Structure 1
Amino acid sequence: MKLTTTSGNPIADNQNALTAGERGGVMLQDYQLIEKLAHQNRERIPERTVHAKGSAAYGVLEITHDISRYTKAKVLQKGEKTRLILRFSTVAGEAGAADAERDVRGFAIKFYTREGNWDLVGNNTPVFFLKDPYKFPDFIHTQKRNPRSHLRSNEAAWDFWSLSPETLHQVTILMSDRGIPASYRQMNGYGSHTYSLINEAGERFWVKFHFKTRQGIKTLTNDEAATIIAADRESHQRDLYENIEAGNFPSWDMKIQIMTDEQAKKLPYSPFDLTKVWSHADFPLIDVGVLTLNENPKNYFNEVEQAAFSPSNIVPGIGFSPDRMLQARIFSYPDAQRYRIGTHYAQLSVNRPISEVGTYTLGGAMNDGSYDVSAQAYYEPNSFGGAKEAPEFSEPALELSGEMKRYNHRELDDDYYSQPRALFGIMNEAQKQQLFSNIAQSMAGVSEFIIERALGHFEKISPEYAAGVRAALGR
């Protein structure tokens, strides 16, 4: 049976998004990509399709260092203090899932800046499983329930991972000792994607955002997590809420990595590949400021469930990049909010910017009338004093080249093993043994041929890696 669209049209390539050149952005005409992402956002009612179980708190970002050479964004100028809400979450579990499960953790921040909302939507890992958004709905299906048995499936997870070697870096992190944080306070956060910073001179710099916990990293073993879950499925929520109520405000050091466009062009791999990190030796961390959480929400539903984050929300001086996953999320996240919450979700108090809003997006459900619009200026352009475009905020042009086609991202860069190898190489013996044990436990019920395929990848990372997992599997 051939793969088709829902209208029966055959799909020639279900692996690679249509891009403008090898490192260019995705094309809006890629209908099947849009269809897959839009459909995924409508697969669950009403909880989030991913990141359903979450906790949040308000706080402040204080900029303590001068990075004005890189960006004109007011929120990132030295001395600036900006209110924010930070939502932590698990990724795969439903709204009733236990907090202490082995999973990636979401780390989504909404900054209420003077220039509009800036949302930085990331995780507690610097990389992700995928680099092409075409495979995101497929990947999430493997983390959710089998539609026949309604059970989570180790088989589906490992089948997908072993057929998609670009996942190995994130899989190694997930199965390591850092796969289960002891609390949201005791883990790092990352913007993960590559973004851009633009300074007053119109110069663009590529950037990665890091948030290093001041509470220290603390993690749980599978056995420790199982004991906690048996007694308290809301362990992370309880820890965050109670610490803030007691005045024990958690904080993180905000840092960035900077890469020039010339450096990006000389890099042996794409700097926009979400499965890879930038070397700290080549691109060292630069201090920016401190993020502190100091206030619990008053109403969980209004302020946490209805909080709507999207990487499409940026401010002057901060921009996007050709990161394929980021470009797809620019569409997918607000589309999810329109479906999950409603057309005018941005008017809800938790999502409303503190800056003035000038928009002609007025019709539709949930418009509370808070937008100040002239009865004669409900379109643009107009002659009646309505909001006008501001060309002074235009970004510098980004040079792109290459043919428009579906580039095979696995052929463009088939180095799936060097970065997981480097990560494995810095683990001590106890961490390696925990990695082996965690992988073996996660393979319970997985078919032999899938296990052998995965072991083949581990062998290419390191013979020690493969041998350790084999031993943990008892073979």
Structure 2
Amino acid sequence: MKKLTNDFGNFVADNQNSMSAGAQGPLLMQDYILLEKLAHQNRERIPERTVHAKGSAAYGELKITADLSKYTKAKVLQMGEVTPLILRFSTVAGEAGAADAERDVRGFAIKFYTKEGNWDLVGNNTPTFFIRDAYKFPDFIHTQKRDPRTHLRSNNAAWDFWTLCPESLHQVTILMSDRGIPASYRHMHGFGSHTYSLINDKNERFWVKFHFKTKQGIKNLTNAEAQAIIAKDRESHQRDLVEAIDRGDFPKWKVQIQILAENEGDKLGFNPFDLTKIWPHSIVPLMDIGEMVLNKNVENYFNEVEQAAFSPSNIVPGIGFSPDKMLQARIFSYPDAQRYRIGTNYHLLPVNRARSEVNTYNVAGAMNFDSYKNGSAYYEPNSYAQSPKEDKSYLEPNLNLEGDAQRYKALDDDFYTQPRALFHLMNQNQKEQLFSNIAASMEGVDSTIIDRALEHFEKISPDYKEGVKKALQK
């Protein structure tokens, strides 16, 4: 058996779990193999985005209608605050020329131009994801892209990975359900997906999840309906968004959050930072906090959509991160991808530029067209009052960590409870669509991989297995 190595021939002891401080994280920067994998992935293709390559975007605003001062000091989330934004939708796996109406997860990335700097919430139209450790992310995306030998998509690769990483079953069930092909970007929900933190003026931390529920209603396409649309229009979602805003039919979403106090994570019964799981609404109810509307189309697609750059590392006082291992890695991976794809000064482009005051000692670099406003100093610390200084009042409260540095497996192996709950929520017609969609996606897949998938489906529900098995025989 060949031994796995990194790019320099160093043996890889564990290629499934990143190195973290304790089982819940956060991650350690000394995990050089994780950094190598993520950095290499960001440089695999130029200049197209590695994922989320094809997108649509529009401008709008967020209005907060609830009093959240108990949970956060962020100005953007205070009652009555109206914040301009740009929202970029996208398909995930397809290239820039992919059809809009393909079965795929949709990106849901929002840049809020707040009074305290840009806040980016980079999510999807699903509350979960296929994996919970970014160590697996480059490998997962490889399965969604083209085989380097044939340059063809591979159902076999996708199902091989999914069935060997059963934490993906929850997301796979969503993807293969009737919601796997939204009728348009306007007719789907959006989610921050990750667990983030809110910090109030008493320096108390709360864990939070963000939800955006479409006010247009959920509308989806069957495989047959999508195929008929793609045959005539590969830009169906883009066309729908542009035309809706042009005629004044502005898309709207109800904004909701789920909140847990910092010490309440155990009430869920599982790792609250596991991206493959939702927080059950029966335990952590949704709270209405406002409305988001899109009311202006972009004027230059390349400048405002293709060069729009999002990263969860862009936060503002009162909003922070969590030990979610996927989120922790994206904090590095996303801005690294943008610096590579667009350039080191991508933040100076109008669509990305903060509308609040910016004071930085990051200077020079290709395509820097900014003026220098730091007075006498071009470094920090310095002795000059007119030059910007650090302000420790913005420090976040301590985050208690424990555990030895090691490559920890996930805290649980419960891959079936939440997919089972989702399956039981489906009516019979939705279940039949699920079975049919899975069977269609298994064309060309090795029989051993199909058998492995059926074993997983049976653990979710015997009806799940039998439904897929029957659909495969048609």
Tell me, yes or no, whether TM beats 0.5: yes
Shift of 1:68: 1.1
Deviations 1:215-239 (A, max 9, x none): 0000000000000000000000000
Cα–Cα, structure 1 residues 371 and 220, in superposed 2: closer, same or farther, change >3 Å? farther
The one-letter amino acid of 1:395's match is: E
- Please give the alpha-carbon distance, in whole angstroms, between the structure 1 residues aligned to 2:44 and 2:342: 14
- Please give the alpha-carbon distance, in whole angstroms, between the structure 2 residues aligned to 1:100 and 1:414: 34
Deviations 1:278-303 (A, max 9, x none): 01011000011100000000100000
Aligned to 1:470: 469
Shift of 1:372: 2.0
Aligned to 2:309: 308
Aligned to 2:158: 157
- Please give the alpha-carbon distance, in whole angstroms, between the structure 1 residues aligned to 2:276 and 2:142: 19
Alpha-carbon contact 2:268-2:279 (below 8 Å) kept: no
The one-letter amino acid of 2:290's match is: G
Shift of 1:373: 2.8
Alpha-carbon contact 1:358-1:371 (below 8 Å) kept: no
- Please give the alpha-carbon distance, in whole angstroms, between the structure 2 residues aligned to 1:371 and 1:307: 24
Shift of 1:366: 1.5
The one-letter amino acid of 1:171's match is: V
- Please give the alpha-carbon distance, in whole angstroms, between the structure 1 residues aligned to 2:455 and 2:89: 35
Asked whether 1:291 is paired with 2:292, we answer yes
Partner SS state of residue 205, structure 1: strand
Shift of 1:364: 1.1
Alpha-carbon contact 1:458-1:465 (below 8 Å) kept: yes
Partner SS state of residue 470, structure 1: helix
Aligned to 2:393: 392
Q: What percent of counterpart residues are identical?
A: 71
Asked whether 1:233 is paired with 2:248, we answer no
Partner SS state of residue 440, structure 1: helix
* Equivalent residue runs for 1:166-181 within 5 Å: 166-181=167-182
Shift of 1:371: 4.4
- Please give the alpha-carbon distance, in whole angstroms, between the structure 2 residues aligned to 1:159 and 1:472: 19
Deviations 1:72-131 (A, max 9, x none): 100000000000000000000000000000000000000000000000000000000000
- Please give the alpha-carbon distance, in whole angstroms, between the structure 1 residues aligned to 2:371 and 2:138: 36
* Equivalent residue runs for 1:108-123 within 5 Å: 108-123=109-124
Aligned to 1:446: 445
Aligned to 1:85: 86
Q: TM-score, normalised by structure 2?
A: 0.99
Specify every segment of 5 or more residues in structure 1 that has no aligned partner in the other structure, as ranges: none
- Please give the alpha-carbon distance, in whole angstroms, between the structure 1 residues aligned to 2:425 and 2:50: 35
Asked whether 1:407 is paired with 2:384, we answer no
User: RMSD in angstroms over aligned alpha carbons?
Assistant: 0.8
Aligned to 2:379: 379
Specify every segment of 5 or more residues in structure 2 that has no aligned partner in the other structure, as ranges: none
Partner SS state of residue 186, structure 1: coil
Aligned to 1:214: 215
Cα–Cα, structure 1 residues 49 and 371, in superposed 2: closer, same or farther, change >3 Å? farther
Aligned to 1:190: 191
- Please give the alpha-carbon distance, in whole angstroms, between the structure 1 residues aligned to 2:372 and 2:412: 48
Asked whether 1:358 is paired with 2:359, we answer yes
- Please give the alpha-carbon distance, in whole angstroms, between the structure 2 residues aligned to 1:166 and 1:25: 20
Shift of 1:65: 1.1
- Please give the alpha-carbon distance, in whole angstroms, between the structure 2 residues aligned to 1:65 and 1:104: 30
Shift of 1:213: 0.2
- Please give the alpha-carbon distance, in whole angstroms, between the structure 2 residues aligned to 1:171 and 1:371: 49
Aligned to 1:426: 425
Aligned to 2:73: 72
- Please give the alpha-carbon distance, in whole angstroms, between the structure 2 residues aligned to 1:117 and 1:191: 16
Q: TM-score, normalised by structure 1?
A: 0.99
- Please give the alpha-carbon distance, in whole angstroms, between the structure 2 residues aligned to 1:464 and 1:150: 36
- Please give the alpha-carbon distance, in whole angstroms, between the structure 1 residues aligned to 2:418 and 2:12: 33
- Please give the alpha-carbon distance, in whole angstroms, between the structure 2 residues aligned to 1:86 and 1:208: 18
Deviations 1:400-438 (A, max 9, x none): 1111100012xx210000000000001000000000000
The one-letter amino acid of 2:210's match is: F
Shift of 1:266: 4.1
Alpha-carbon contact 2:223-2:437 (below 8 Å) kept: yes
Partner SS state of residue 60, structure 1: strand
Q: Which runs of 4+ in 1 moved over 6 A?
A: none
- Please give the alpha-carbon distance, in whole angstroms, between the structure 1 residues aligned to 2:180 and 2:268: 29
* Equivalent residue runs for 1:239-278 within 5 Å: 239-278=240-279
Alpha-carbon contact 1:357-1:371 (below 8 Å) kept: no
The one-letter amino acid of 1:106's match is: G
Asked whether 1:323 is paired with 2:320, we answer no
- Please give the alpha-carbon distance, in whole angstroms, between the structure 1 residues aligned to 2:409 and 2:63: 42
Alpha-carbon contact 2:131-2:167 (below 8 Å) kept: yes
Deviations 1:344-396 (A, max 9, x none): 0000000000111110110211110234233x311100112321111111100
- Please give the alpha-carbon distance, in whole angstroms, between the structure 2 residues aligned to 1:349 and 1:49: 23
Partner SS state of residue 53, structure 2: coil
Alpha-carbon contact 2:268-2:283 (below 8 Å) kept: no
Asked whether 1:11 is paired with 2:12, we answer yes
Cα–Cα, structure 1 residues 371 and 237, in superposed 2: closer, same or farther, change >3 Å? farther
